[in-house]
Amino acid sequence: MSRPASLQVGGWRPPAWIILLTPLLPLLAALPGGRWILPAVAPLTVYAAFAARVRERDYLGAWTLGVGWAFLLSLGVVALVHWQPHLASAGILHGEDYRREMFGWVATGEAPENHPAVFIPQHLLHLAVFLAATWLSGGYLGLAMGAALVDYMSYFVGSFAVASGHPLLGALAAWVPWSVLRVAAFVLLGAVFARPLLARKPWPFTRLEHSLMALAASGLLADILIKATLAPAYGRFLRQMARTVGLG
């Protein structure tokens, strides 16, 4: 498989080490308008290396970078919630609204998490917007949207970890398994659907890309099935973990 000419000279790729700066990005929440600035600029630590791998059809490399970037971004938000909760509350877009919703689910067992008729249309809307944004921007806007989603989910994770009294175990448990599946599937779709603009072809897809689309779709289907099946029990598990702490 040949590489684009711009990547053949010396086998050069944009450096991937810049991704290690990602946990510092949530500090942008301190700036005026930081809640909007953070997701808009968050892809900058991964995009060049991600796009280079997509151009080469190195989807495993692009996916690995994307998942690593999402993990590091989440880590930075969780740390911000722990060390600067007021800054995180003001600076994470949709963070406090999502925290209240999820804490309500943990405390009472009642939330959209338990109702497929409510959450499936929301998931499909997110997917449609994500694919369109990814296609039109060569992946950048898809990563920015992903950053916004990871930010507010991580805000809940960090808030639960602090409130539960079990910082490490609480953070691990609050990243519910279906959300992890969704992030992994979105990153894979982001790598595949970034390719048309980067390759300058409207439909540069072959059997490889079709197989990856099917794999990502199976991950999204598993996300829905696991969430629909396990959400009530998982909420009780989180409530038991935090039973000694009010989560209102």
Q: Is the pLDDT of residue 9 over 50?
A: no
HEC profile of the chain = CCCCHHHHHHHCCCCCHHHHHHHHHHHHHHCCCHHHHHHHHHHHHCHHHHHHHHHCCCHHHHHHHHHHHHHHHHHHHHHHHHHCHHHHHHHCCCHHHHHHHHHHHHHHCCCHHHCHHHHHHHHHHHHHHHHHHHHHHCCHHHHHHHHHHHHHHHHHHHHHHHHHCCHHHHHHHHCCHHHHHHHHHHHHHHHHHCHHHHHCCCCCCCHHHHHHHHHHHHHHHHHHHHHHHHHHHHHHHHHHHCCCCCCC
Q: Is the pLDDT of residue 183 over 60?
A: yes
Question: Exposure string (b/e) for 170-203, b if CB count within 10 Å is 16 or more?
Answer: bbebbbbebbbbbbbbbbbbbbbbbbbbbbeeee
Distance from C-alpha of 98 to C-alpha of 112, rounded to nearest angstrom: 11
* 41 within a domain of the structure (yes/no): no
Distance from C-alpha of 158 to C-alpha of 170, rounded to nearest angstrom: 8
pLDDT > 70 in the chain, percent = 93
pLDDT, position 247: 53
Residue 209 tokens read as: 């890309």
* 31 within a domain of the structure (yes/no): no
Q: Is the pLDDT of residue 7 over 80?
A: no
Distance from C-alpha of 228 to C-alpha of 208, rounded to nearest angstrom: 30
Distance from C-alpha of 107 to C-alpha of 128, rounded to nearest angstrom: 32
Higher pLDDT, 133 or 245: 133
Q: Is the pLDDT of residue 244 over 70?
A: no
Q: What is the pLDDT of residues 134-165, one digit of tens each?
A: 999 999 999 999 999 999 999 999 999 999 88
* 116 within a domain of the structure (yes/no): yes
> Are 30 and 87 within 8 A, CB to CB?
yes
* 21 within a domain of the structure (yes/no): no
pTM: predicted TM-score of the whole model, two decimal places: 0.91
* 20 within a domain of the structure (yes/no): no
* 25 within a domain of the structure (yes/no): no
Distance from C-alpha of 108 to C-alpha of 30, rounded to nearest angstrom: 33
Q: At what angle do helices 59-83 and 177-193 cross, to 10 degrees?
A: 130
* 38 within a domain of the structure (yes/no): no
Specify the number of domains making up the chain.
Answer: 1
* 112 within a domain of the structure (yes/no): yes
Query: How much is the mean pLDDT over the chain?
Result: 91
Domain housing 197: 47-241
Residue with tokens 């199976």: 218
